[in-house]
Amino acid sequence: MKLTESIKKDFNTMTWVLIPVAIAINVVIGQIVAILKLPVYLDSIGTVLVAAVAGPWAGALTGTLSNIIWGLAIDPNAFPWFPVALFIGFVAGWCAIGGLFKTWWKVVIAGFLIALTAAIVSTPIAVYLYGGITASGSSFITAYLLETGKGVVQAVFSTNFLVEPVDKIATALLAYAIIKGLSKRYLARFPRAENVS
């Protein structure tokens, strides 16, 4: 399939209407999780959901816009991290095309791949924009690793790799649980319903 066709396939009106809802799910669940003081973010469940039912391009767009909206409306500190969200959606979409959203244990694998992607993509942003120490709590781990003499890139990546998998595997599993809770009739309206049935 040619690139433009592959992109076009992801988008019908259902996708366009789903994306705002998915972004709202990202934001609101992210905030509820913070209220409950859980040690995860879970702020990309909506992104993974779109990626699974509509495809990688729609997922990438949802992730990107999610960050932009978070920046526009809640906290402008979110802007520079949009590539991470973009790749989470993109990789989740390809995982779904590869059949990783059909049974729960495959979803765990998808979650791990998404986590790996997030760890890789956020490293250069943390290093070049923030000099390695960002504003998040996990920066203490990075700082510790720096003190033990690790290079900054290595320290940041190791931190990300420690933090991401739990969050992203939980995210993928919750997105999967949502999909399982939706009717076949409803899912069939989305461009890549076959990925999840």
Partner 1 sequence: MAIVNLQDVTYKYPLTEEPAIRNIHLQVEEGEFVAIVGPNGAGKSTLCYTLSGFIPHFFKGELNGTVEIAGVETQKSSLDEWVLNVGLAFQNPFNQISGSKFTVYEEIAFGLENIGVPRGEMKARVEAAMAMTAISDLADRSPYSLSGGQQQRVALTSILVMEPKVLVLDEPTSQMDPIGTREVFQVIKEMSARGMTVILVEHKIEWIAEFADRVIALHNGEILLEGTPGEVLTSPLLPERGFGISRYTSVARTASGQGLWPGDRRLPITLQEAVDGFARDRK
Partner 2 sequence: MKDKLTFYIERESSLHRVNPLTKLVMVFAFIILAFFGPGFWLPSLLVVLGIIPLSFLGRVQREYFRTAGRLLLPVVGFLFLMQSVFHPDVGDSRVLLQVWVLNVTVEGVRFAYLTASRIFVMVSAFILFLLTTHPSELMSDLTRRGLSGTFAYVITATLQIIPQMQAKASTIIDAQRSRGLDTDGSFRKRVGALLPLTGPLVFGSLVEVEERAIAIEARAFTSKLEKTSLREIPDTKLDKAARWFFLLLIVLAFGSKLWPS
* Site residues (vs partner 1, CB under 8 A): 13, 20, 184-185, 188-189
If one asks whether residue 7 binds partner 2 (CB under 8 A), the answer comes out as no
Do 47 and 89 form a contact (C-beta atoms < 8 A)?
A: yes
- The binder of 184, among partner 1, partner 2, none, by C-beta within 5 to 8 A per type, is partner 1
Q: Which helix (H) or strand (E) holds 117?
A: helix 104-130
What's the closest the beta carbon of residue 194 comes to partner 1, in angstroms? 13
Task: Sketch the per residue contact string, 81 through 120, with partner 2: x for CB under 8 A, - otherwise.
Answer: ----------------------------------------
Residues in CB range of 176: below 8 A, 6 or more apart? 52, 101, 104, 107
Tokens standing for residue 170: 């939980």
- Number of residues located near partner 2, criterion CB under 8 A: 52
User: Where do we find the tokens 């076949």?
Assistant: 184
Length of the chain: 197
User: 2: which DSSP letter?
Assistant: -
User: Where do we find the tokens 């366009």?
Assistant: 16
C-alpha to C-alpha distance for 5 and 17, rounded to whole angstroms: 20
If one asks whether residue 28 binds partner 2 (CB under 8 A), the answer comes out as yes
Nearer to partner 2, 99 or 131 (CB): 131
Nearer to partner 2, 89 or 113 (CB): 89
Residue from the set 2, 105, 180, 181 that interacts with partner 2 by CB under 8 A: 181
Nearer to partner 2, 88 or 170 (CB): 170
Do 55 and 48 form a contact (C-beta atoms < 8 A)?
A: no
Amino acid at 5: E
Residues making contact with partner 2 (CB under 8 A) = 11, 13-14, 16-21, 23-25, 27-29, 31-33, 35-38, 61, 65, 68-69, 71-77, 79-80, 129-135, 139, 143, 146-147, 152, 178, 181-182, 186, 189
